[in-house]
Structure 1
């Protein structure tokens, strides 16, 4: 049940192979996941300070 493609680390992959895999994934979400994460983290920190004093 060992898949060498899944266990291969980024350091073991050559640069052209890594670039090919990244373009093959075709996940173009933009920056909204990072922005949403920062906003939700800020809200969580604010809630902690607002209710715990």
Structure 2
């Protein structure tokens, strides 16, 4: 793999090339990381507001 390929950003790839890279990665978490992040943020915010009043 060349340095040029390693530094390419997602925005530089065409749609079929990007989808091929995603399939090659093999990771498909869906939207669970975003949902977990939102729930975690809400819990932390609630705790901060509860403790500080």
What's the TM-score once normalised by structure 1's chain length?
0.76
- Specify the alignment match of 2:32 in structure 1: 32
Residue ranges of structure 1 left out of the alignment (5+ in a row):
none
Corresponding pairs, count = 52
Q: TM-score, normalised by structure 2?
A: 0.76
* 5+ long unaligned stretches in structure 2: none
Structure 1 runs of 4+ with >3 Å offset? none
Within 1, Cα distance between the matches of 2:4 and 2:26? Answer: 22
Query: Over the residues paired in the alignment, what is the CA RMSD in angstroms?
Result: 1.6
Q: Which residue of 2 aligns with 1:50?
A: 50
> In structure 2, how many angstroms separate the alpha carbons of the residues matched to 1:8 and 1:32?
26
